[in-house]
Amino acid sequence: MRQTFTVLDLLNLDLKEHNDLGLRCIAGRQGLSREIRMPDLNRPGLALSGFFDNFGYERIQIFGRGEHAYLEKLDAQGNSDTIRHLFEQGVPCAIFTHDLYPTERLIAIATDTGTPVLQTSLATSDFNSRLIRALSNVFAKTLTTHGVLVEVFGIGIFIIGDSGVGKSEAALELVHRGHRLVADDAVEIRNVSGNVLIGSGANKALGHHMEIRGLGIINITHLFGVGAIRETKQIQLVVELENWDSEKVYDRIGAEEKTTEILGVKVPYLLVPVKPGRNIPIIIETAAMNERLKKMGYFSAKEFNQSVMKWLETENARKIYMQKRQMIESLQDRLRGDDSE
């Protein structure tokens, strides 16, 4: 169940570089505990003019240059009724872009109603795209599950399986071979934008540690360097490890694409049996490269199947041709025998 997300949480979001919102509170600090209930935004131009039909009171209100110019016009007219009506409806907060500063009348109303007023130096379009991206992540469906998430040749692979089957050992060998660890043991998965699964470590305090039976807890960052880790990665392939069952028939061709569903999103799925002599890390590497080929439109198993079918068709055609040729030769021999008589 999603925890409450407030305006103060929005201000405290730890976003870096091109995701940074650059927000600061300039009024209405007593309302920073107000809850933000949806990831949608609203430009209150029509509301400022007095039209409140179907107005999104639960949305964050964005004030750009157009809204700011209209606020100054209302201030010059001494008209603050629509502003007060807007803020009295309990909107989560108001955000001014372009480093625009609200009128003193609006500041007074915001303070009186306890409505947080925030400010950013970003342009409206840039800020809106960043904020929507951040809120989509906050409000995304979330699942915490057991497994190991690694990046192999650019493909995010979520390794699952029963405890003790060798998930962490396989991931450790992959890191040793130059790939990157995202999370071990507990993986938090978010459904972003409805069709993208983003995985990360469920416990940020533990960082990129791994538990290896017989060895204990190891710190991947200290052992292999920062190049061996990632904070987040899209899950593009699920690999399940299971102990080899001699009575079970495993797929040997792979012509059928199998998927598994996580948070309503279907992800390519592979079942890999584990037994002595099988090099699981190399199998996972090959699976990653094969998945990249599939995304480029090349499906090895299907191409193999088509080649076999063409060969069978060619072989059948050759047999039919040879049979007809033999019949013709036999008929010709018979005709020659009749002529000689």
State yes or no: is 146 an active-site residue: yes
**Nearest CA to 274 among 155, 168, 157?**
168
- The residues pairing with 178 across neighbouring beta strands, listed in sequence order, are none
Structure tokens at 219: 């710190």
**Residue tagged active-site, from 167, 190, 208, 233:** 167
Residue 252 annotated to the active site: yes
Please give the Cα distance from 161 to 152 (Å, whole number): 18
Token pair 């915001």 is found at 110
Catalytic residue among 252, 333, 338, 339: 252
The reply to whether 209 belongs to the active site is no
Q: Which residue from 256, 262, 254, 211 is spatially nearest to 238, judged by alpha carbons?
A: 262
* Structure tokens that stand for 138 in this block: 């906050």
Going edge to edge, which strands form the sheet with 180-192? 232-234, 196-201, 180-192, 141-152, 155-161, 237-243, 265-274, 259-262
Give 296: exposed, middle or buried? Use CB within 10 Å, 0-12, 13-18, 19+.
exposed
Catalytic residue among 9, 20, 75, 185: 185
Is 185 assigned a catalytic role? yes
Q: Which of 37, 65, 73, 146 is catalytic?
A: 146
Enzyme catalytic residues: 146, 167, 185, 252
